[in-house]
A and B are shown apart, each in its own frame.
Chain A
Amino acid sequence: MATRDPSMICCFRLLFLLLFSVPLIASSSSWASMHHNNWAVLVCTSRYWFNYRHMANTLSLYRTVKRLGIPDERIILMLADDMACNMRNNYPAQVFNNENHQLNLYGDNVEVDYRGYEVTVENFMRVLTGRHDPAVPRSKRLLSDEGSHILLYMTGHGGDEFLKFQDSEELQSHDLADAVKQMKEKNRFKELLIMVDTCQAATLFNQLQSPGVLAIGSSMKGENSYSHHLDSDIGVSVVDRFTYYTLAFFEKLNMYSNASLSSLFNSYNPRTLMSTAYYRMDLYQRPLPEVPVTSFFGSVMKTIHTDAAYMGLSIPPKTEAQFLPGDGGNHQLRIENEPDLEKDGNKQTKELHCIYHEWLNLLQERFENTDAELLFRYGFGTMVFLLTISTWLLA
């Protein structure tokens, strides 16, 4: 923590701005530009028994993002879903991504939103752009907003600038770029991570233009993505290399981990992958070493404290997860509480509050390098001190 994180400074400046000058009506924009929810769209674009591994890939990732905190209601899962109950499956109603059969991916609570022949390019585009038939239930829609981080994971068979959907149609790179552009226009995301595990995955990102998009593919143009291993009991390959090593990376993490995206990207070894993982970062503003993987693969760890009911949404969040990009293994999430801002405060109270805030900020800056416990001790000490003074005054 020797150097201050520029985004952090930015954030604080914003906070100051908010506190001092910006009227409350205008606060909606800043509230929106803040990352406050996570979505995941997981797509398996192939079907048929011999593509078992693609469904296993998708289900593994589904399990991972759920484990890292994205709730089912914010995951759109698109699967052909013809493996678990396939008559060729040695293990009926079970799907594995490893030949050791330790983990049944098709266990409890797998909520598939688009199943079988519903996995089409049209439905995929509708999910991304939010142009649904009115009859489509909310659970099948991507209800993200301008504060959302979206993870878009796709796996299947692809080629140069296209991705096959169930052997019948294909998604081309400019279709994807167009959908992402529309999403950006409609403020449907703040940041978008596209992760694709197909052959020549990198070519799928060629047409992307929208800012805030980070893309990672399993292979470069002209390369194939290979499966990781064969389950000789089930008789099919059960997982792809890229996904396998992605999962291996995430298995070590939990909800509170602070591993950065760059550490994920650096974990791909072209030799074990048998292809070169490709990242497209030119559209993405934040430096990767400072973005935690959980900002896409997990959920925001944020509690919004409200004084009264039904007020929460109109009030900007007061708590913020501070990310400590620690190389020294200091994987902690620090939660800073700030006092509530009264909605109808007059100028005096506002100023008072502001002073109070400034003081707190000072305090916070002072104790930037110390841990929360120290802060707590100081705070407690001050409170005791105040209590004694007040009782002494009263007396």
Chain B
Amino acid sequence: MAVKEEGDTSQQGKKSRSRLILRLGALLVAHSGLVSVVCCAAGIIAFILLPVLANNTYISENALMPGSADPAFSSQEVLDANRLTMDILNRGAAKASGIEIAKLLREYIVAVGAESYYHKFVPRANKFHPLHFFSSTTDNLDLPANPSCGSFILNAVGIIRAPRGDGKETIVLVTPYNSQNTTYSDAVSLGIGFSIISLLSHVTWLAKDIVWLAADSRYGEYMTVDSWLKDYHGPAFPGETSRIVDDACFEENNSDSLDHIKVEGHNSYVYKRAGTMAAALVLKVVDKKEKEERDSLSIYAEASNGQMPNLDLINIAHYLAVHRQGLRVKIGSIIYFLKASWVKLLGEMLQHITTLAKLLNPKWKLDITSADYVEGTATLASSIYYQALGVPTGSHGAFRNYQVDAVTLEFSPRSSLNNENVRSAFLLKTGRLIEGVIRSVNNLLEKFHQSFFLYFLTAPHKYVSVGIYMIPFGILIAPLPIVAAALFSSNNGSSNKDGSWKWLQAAKVVFLIHLWAMITSLLPYVLLQLPLVTPSSFTSAWAAVAICFLLITYLILWSSSIDCGWELLKSVMIVAAAIGLSLMSVINFSTAQIGAMLIVPMCLLVKPARKQTQGVFAKALMLTSNLALLVVAFPPAALLIAKTLFGASGNIDIGDFWEWAQILWSWNSATYMYLLWIHLPCWVLCLNIFLYPCIGSSSKA
């Protein structure tokens, strides 16, 4: 008996213990309204607080040791750079053919004693490949059979082999220039690139090979760099027919360069490789007309789908620029936030709050000045925006596709480069900075791995890591499953007999709408085959077909007389949205964050317009908020609002939407998928619920 009793009590204990979490869950579900309000508010406030929570960056990898060696870049190298710059400008002016500069560069590289070759390719237009998201490897099969010979692009490449290295690793330096319209700053950037090569060709400390790619960016620098990288990583066999055709075509067309090729032999076209790439630097010079206090450096790092290079690479560039060369480092910021008065007000409020918080506990490192907050917000916004867009901010993005850490370093002098003194001081600083970065990366023993890959920058020396920025997002989407459960259980409780499988009906509706969205996302592939010309016609055709399909979907739904209450529909829709957002947060966090800020309030608030509520005021409030959210969360509307907010004053054409979508898919941005597979169906379902023809709690009817 006693034993039995004991067993009983222990069982009861187990039950009550296992029930605790259930009870907590039930409590949350029961108060889902309060929970969702609190969570949404907390999530958005925490998101706004991100600039306050940013930490200072630090160099995490011990091996890098930036700035520990004195730069050897001297006035001799400045002279080299000047020589090449002048030569390019003189010859480029004389002959505007695309290959003149490449030939000149190769002469210079060979004279320094480095290996050199020409890289040739035929540019291709980016096409819509519905199944090519995440894999940017477009095969070479779609090369035109008979390419017109004038469209070849010729890049000069120089390789310095590390004298005592094993040739297994490489640092890549890229200087894009436009061969058709070579500007002065292009020539200067080539000059810097060459002076670095001429310096590194006789140093003894190289452990990694150095590859210098002078990329002809006549048809876009990204494409040039990307095709060079493709050739670098893809096996190319010497017997490949297309290459021979290329060669023949090239030589015929440029008869004046024939003698040159004869002298150099065919060797000059043999693609040479060095080891795997440790890091890549894209070097650019922007000549500004207005005067500034100091020379400045802008760092661009965002690659496709919000991928970032390792934070250490940005750190060393920033450290060397600020603490060694005295440059001003800038990263992109959205000007709207810099000027917006509400941000300033928020900053002042936060300043007061943080000083108060510091009085409470001096250990909290939360103090931020209003100006810092405004700057941090603007920079963070730009960081999130460019990551969310999923489009690389420069040719460094091409490297990220091969898991190579790369940044674009854009230098701008303090005044015009035509001034001799300004130019030589500028060349000295940039040269030393790049030498320092290369030497630091040269010290690296492994791939960059110590520091963060997932982060936002709020200033050149401040970052918000994944561990911090996931929290607001988590809080923001936490009410979704709770509200879904609340809706489901309330609906199930009310109709016990047949309601248990009723949600399948709702799931069918949600599934069909998602199917429709998927078809809509693939429509451009079909539309591109049609003889349409203007972007606006594309947009209207796309919209028309999509709406047709939507009507057909609803016809099917109507004919099969699927009717589930709006509550169940909302519950399933919320579950789908929560799953979609969680998945997207793994693929591209920024997109998910921005999307969640629009979708989550809409999903939580949406109610049928005809649903009766007690007060007139409450009903009006509900209606207006629903309507406002539905308008804002509609992707084209959101785009329009963003455009007017952020100062693009040009008149708005419906063709813009097509172009915008085109940008997204041509860069293989996952944002396109998110918008059409998650955001759009969610919006349609919300609209569906809003227009639901019900009176009171209709589900019983």
- Point out residues on A near B: beta carbons under 8 Å: 48-50, 85-90, 92, 230, 232-237
A235 touches B68 (CB 8 A): yes
Q: Which 10 A-B pairs have the closest CB atoms?
A: A235-B69, A87-B164, A232-B70, A87-B207, A50-B63, A87-B165, A235-B68, A88-B207, A88-B205, A90-B205
Contacts of A90 in B (CB 8 A): 204-205
Contacts of B70 in A (CB 8 A): 232-233
B63 touches A49 (CB 8 A): yes
Q: Is B443 interfacial (CB 8 A cutoff)?
A: yes
Contacts of A88 in B (CB 8 A): 205-207, 442-443
Contacts of A230 in B (CB 8 A): 68
A235 touches B204 (CB 8 A): no
A87 touches B206 (CB 8 A): yes
Which residue in chain B gives the minimum CB-CB distance to A51?
B62
Segment 145-172 of B: residues with Cβ below 8 Å from A: 162-166
Which residue in chain A gives the minimum CB-CB distance to B69?
A235
Segment 433-487 of B: residues with Cβ below 8 Å from A: 439, 442-443, 445
Binary contact readout B98-113 vs A (1 if CB under 8 angstroms, 0 otherwise):
0000000000000000
A87 touches B69 (CB 8 A): no
Picked from B62, B68, B205, B445, the residue with its CB within 8 Å of the CB of A89 is B205
Contacts of B445 in A (CB 8 A): 48-49
Contacts of A235 in B (CB 8 A): 65, 68-69, 205, 439, 443
B65 touches A236 (CB 8 A): yes
Can you give 14 contacting A-B residue pairs, CB < 8 Å? A49-B63, A50-B63, A50-B65, A86-B207, A87-B162, A87-B164, A88-B442, A88-B443, A92-B164, A232-B69, A233-B70, A235-B439, A236-B65, A236-B68
Number of interface residues of B (CB under 8 A): 19
Contacts of B65 in A (CB 8 A): 50, 235-236
Most buried by B among A48, A49, A237: A49
Segment 29-69 of B: residues with Cβ below 8 Å from A: 62-63, 65, 68-69
B443 touches A49 (CB 8 A): yes
Most buried by A among B68, B163, B165, B442: B68
Given contacts A48-B445, A87-B207, 13 further A-B contacts (CB under 8 A): A48-B63, A49-B443, A50-B62, A50-B65, A50-B443, A87-B205, A88-B207, A88-B442, A88-B443, A90-B204, A230-B68, A233-B69, A235-B69
Segment 178-206 of B: residues with Cβ below 8 Å from A: 204-206
Q: How far is the CA of A348 from the CA of B65 in the complex (A)?
A: 77
Contacts of A87 in B (CB 8 A): 162-166, 205-207
Q: How far is the CA of A159 from the CA of B166 in the complex (A)?
A: 34
Contacts of A89 in B (CB 8 A): 204-205
- Closest Cβ–Cβ distance, residue A178 to chain B (whole Å): 30
- Point out residues on B near A: beta carbons under 8 Å: 62-63, 65, 68-70, 162-166, 204-207, 439, 442-443, 445
Q: Is the interface of A mostly helix, strand, loop or mixed?
A: loop
- Closest Cβ–Cβ distance, residue B325 to chain A (whole Å): 15
Contacts of A48 in B (CB 8 A): 63, 445
Which residue in chain A gives the minimum CB-CB distance to B436?
A235
- Closest Cβ–Cβ distance, residue B193 to chain A (whole Å): 23
Contacts of A234 in B (CB 8 A): 69
- Closest Cβ–Cβ distance, residue B471 to chain A (whole Å): 30
Contacts of A232 in B (CB 8 A): 68-70
Most buried by A among B65, B162, B205, B439: B205
Which residue in chain A gives the minimum CB-CB distance to B62?
A50
Q: How far is the CA of A230 from the CA of B166 in the complex (A)?
A: 27
Contacts of A92 in B (CB 8 A): 164, 204
- Closest Cβ–Cβ distance, residue A350 to chain B (whole Å): 68
Contacts of B207 in A (CB 8 A): 86-88
Q: How far is the CA of A235 from the CA of B207 in the complex (A)?
A: 13
Most buried by B among A48, A50, A90, A236: A50
Which residue in chain A gives the minimum CB-CB distance to B440?
A235
Which residue in chain B gives the minimum CB-CB distance to A49?
B443
- Closest Cβ–Cβ distance, residue B409 to chain A (whole Å): 21
Q: How far is the CA of A50 from the CA of B443 in the complex (A)?
A: 8
- Closest Cβ–Cβ distance, residue B265 to chain A (whole Å): 31
Contacts of B163 in A (CB 8 A): 87
Q: How far is the CA of A92 from the CA of B205 in the complex (A)?
A: 9
- Closest Cβ–Cβ distance, residue A234 to chain B (whole Å): 7
Q: How far is the CA of A109 from the CA of B165 in the complex (A)?
A: 26
Q: How far is the CA of A314 from the CA of B65 in the complex (A)?
A: 58
Contacts of B442 in A (CB 8 A): 88
Contacts of A85 in B (CB 8 A): 164
- Closest Cβ–Cβ distance, residue A177 to chain B (whole Å): 29
- Closest Cβ–Cβ distance, residue B442 to chain A (whole Å): 7
- Closest Cβ–Cβ distance, residue A237 to chain B (whole Å): 8
Which residue in chain A gives the minimum CB-CB distance to B66?
A235
Contacts of B162 in A (CB 8 A): 87
Q: How far is the CA of A233 from the CA of B69 in the complex (A)?
A: 6
Contacts of B443 in A (CB 8 A): 49-50, 88, 235
- Closest Cβ–Cβ distance, residue A164 to chain B (whole Å): 12
Which residue in chain B gives the minimum CB-CB distance to A47?
B445
Contacts of A236 in B (CB 8 A): 65, 68
Contacts of A50 in B (CB 8 A): 62-63, 65, 443
Q: How far is the CA of A56 from the CA of B523 in the complex (A)?
A: 67
Which residue in chain B gives the minimum CB-CB distance to A52?
B65
Most buried by A among B69, B163, B442: B69
Q: How far is the CA of A235 from the CA of B436 in the complex (A)?
A: 10
- Closest Cβ–Cβ distance, residue A155 to chain B (whole Å): 16
Which residue in chain A gives the minimum CB-CB distance to B439?
A235
Most buried by B among A88, A90, A237: A88
Most buried by B among A87, A92, A234: A87
Contacts of B166 in A (CB 8 A): 87
Q: How far is the CA of A50 from the CA of B442 in the complex (A)?
A: 11
Q: How far is the CA of A230 from the CA of B66 in the complex (A)?
A: 12
- Closest Cβ–Cβ distance, residue A6 to chain B (whole Å): 50
Most buried by B among A86, A90, A235, A237: A235
- Closest Cβ–Cβ distance, residue A162 to chain B (whole Å): 18
Which residue in chain A gives the minimum CB-CB distance to B442?
A88
- Closest Cβ–Cβ distance, residue A73 to chain B (whole Å): 33
Contacts of A233 in B (CB 8 A): 69-70
Contacts of B164 in A (CB 8 A): 85, 87, 92
Q: How far is the CA of A50 from the CA of B63 in the complex (A)?
A: 5
Q: How far is the CA of A234 from the CA of B65 in the complex (A)?
A: 11
- Closest Cβ–Cβ distance, residue B491 to chain A (whole Å): 58
Q: How far is the CA of A88 from the CA of B206 in the complex (A)?
A: 6
Which residue in chain A gives the minimum CB-CB distance to B203?
A90
Q: How far is the CA of A50 from the CA of B62 in the complex (A)?
A: 7
- Closest Cβ–Cβ distance, residue B59 to chain A (whole Å): 12
Q: How far is the CA of A49 from the CA of B65 in the complex (A)?
A: 10
Q: How far is the CA of A90 from the CA of B69 in the complex (A)?
A: 11
Which residue in chain A gives the minimum CB-CB distance to B71?
A232
Which residue in chain B gives the minimum CB-CB distance to A230?
B68
